[in-house]
Amino acid sequence: MNARLPETGMDAEDEEKAYDDTPYESNAFPQSQPARLAAVAHLFGLHPAAVETARVLELGCASGGNLIPLAMHFPQAQFVGVDISGKQIADGRQLIAQLGLQNIEFRHMGIQALTPDDGRFDYIVCHGIYSWVPAPVRDAILRVCNENLTDDGVAFVSYNTLPGWHYVQPVRDLMLYWTQDIAGPQQKVNAALELLGQLKDWSEEVARNLYRREWEMLTAENTSYVLHDHMEQTNAPCYFKEFAAHAEQHGLVYLSDVTFRSANPLGFNPQMTELIDRHAGGDVIRAEQMMDFISRRRFRSSLLVKKVRQPQIDRTAPLERLDTLHFSFSVLPVKNPAPPPRMSAVWWHSKIDTYRLGPSTLKPDTRAQSLAVAWIAEHVTLAITFTLDELVAHAVANGEAPLQAREDIRLLLWDLLNTATLRPRSCPMRAAVPGDMPAATPLARANARLDRNTSNAFHDHVALSEAQRRLLLLLDGTRSAAAVAAVLGEGSTEETVRADIKTLSNLHVLC
């Protein structure tokens, strides 16, 4: 564990110290939830292990913000996390003990130290590591994803990509150059952000827009993110085709990204889609790389499987595999919204049902699809998953032919999946509805005690205010809203506490 890191000039002890001194804020990454990985693998014809009883390994688990919630929500599954930072591993073990979890283990070790003797796993997660470590560690990540993955397993690896990072690299270089003589982590970050804040107003137009975009993004993040993301000594973005080739060298093949787009990639017009298809000639890697060039993509969350599974990958009939999945929305459709402020298109007719879905507008093509979206708008909440069968049953009950309704609604769900507003899952999920004596989840209360953010039943990252943390500590199932207001004092009333509890309920951190 004291091998030199050739790209940084740091040895493993220095690398560990950097993360001990400024621990990376450890949060849940919703795109890495195994139920989503399994659903995507299922759509492309594979048979991943049931998440409820799976074995899951996280490489670079930090203090467990991503892995511990999974262990909470899937008590019959087994979880192992490894990290080079002794401090973060100790913090994670402390939280595991507080929660009384028996299905999770943290190991203080580097990724390169893992061998097949450490066991095989159905899902391996490596988020935010691959681009920020030297080449030998990148090799180790993919080696482990091959050697320690079950034959039907799925590996999740996220990384910075080119050409998008070509546009960011000068900003990173400037931040490092400007702060090279500053030792303190917080001081380095403050100085770098102050400089970007000035340049976003002073530079010529092209550079000004670049500095403004990065300044706006980074000022919304915490110190550890800026330090270990933009200002990490190693940051090696790559072209997608290079990543796919590197994976193949280690016996792995590319399956898909967690969020994927198909029929009309990235919202391109039909002419652009036809151009990509003509260039790719059916080659998935060429098509994905072409889309990255056109969209200037800068980050990917890719799924890999063992090369032995390549013959089973079937990209031709994903719609037929929607029937057994469960779905949740990141935003809900709103029926007949007012036209956007700058909308002048003549097709916005008040007599046709349209739906706002995040930044997009959705207009069903068939009656069955219209019935399905109407049912979603009326019955579905962000607190529960639903199935295609429920939508089909509603359409059939309203006079639609079963087979045609299923075909139409499959197309609707597929289009929604390709907008990334709809998330597929391999198992049902539901957030609790609080009663008269509301209680926060054990994880939310533990994180509130530690002055941390938390996550919810859907594995979403939930940022908490100081007031919300204080309230969570009181929600132990023994107090009514009136009793909580009495403890809080300071002008709190039963009505204000109920409103705050409703906010926490909408964040799905109550049980």
**Which run of H or E residues covers position 58?**
strand 55-59
pLDDT in tens, the chain (511 residues): 233 233 444 455 555 455 555 555 789 999 999 999 999 999 999 999 999 999 999 999 999 999 999 999 999 999 999 999 999 999 999 999 999 999 999 999 999 999 999 999 999 999 999 999 999 999 999 999 999 999 999 999 999 999 999 988 888 888 888 889 888 888 988 898 888 888 888 877 778 788 888 888 888 877 777 777 777 878 899 999 999 999 999 999 999 999 876 655 545 677 777 888 888 888 999 989 988 998 889 999 999 999 999 999 999 889 999 999 999 988 888 776 666 565 555 444 455 577 777 766 777 889 999 999 989 988 888 889 999 999 999 999 999 999 999 999 999 999 888 877 899 999 999 988 888 899 999 999 999 999 889 999 899 999 999 999 999 999 999 999 999 999 998 888 999 999 999 999 999 999 8
Asked if omega into 163 is within 30° of 0 (cis), the reply is yes
| Residues β-bridged to residue 123 | 56, 154
Provide the token pair at 312.
Answer: 């089973």
Q: For tokens 């070509």, name the residue.
A: 166
**What b-and-e string marks burial along 163-189, b requiring 16 or more CB atoms within 10 Å of the CB?**
ebbeebeebbebbbeebeeeeebeebb
pLDDT in the model for residue 24? 58
- Give the integer Cα–Cα distance in Å for 252 and 153: 11
pLDDT in the model for residue 199? 86
- Give the integer Cα–Cα distance in Å for 283 and 457: 37
Angle between helices 466-474 and 442-449 (to 10 degrees): 130
CA 494 to chain CA centroid, nearest Å: 36
Mind spelling out the 3-state secondary structure of 160-199? EEECHHHHHHHHHHHHHHHCCCCCCHHHHHHHHHHHHHHH
Question: Which one-letter DSSP state was computed for residue 118?
Answer: G
pLDDT in the model for residue 65? 95
Over residues 195-244, the pLDDT tens digits come to 888 888 887 777 878 888 888 888 887 777 777 777 787 889 999 999 99
- Give the integer Cα–Cα distance in Å for 409 and 404: 9
pLDDT in the model for residue 7? 41
Question: Please, what is the end-to-end C-alpha distance for the chain in angstroms?
Answer: 42
Provide the token pair at 177.
Answer: 């150059």
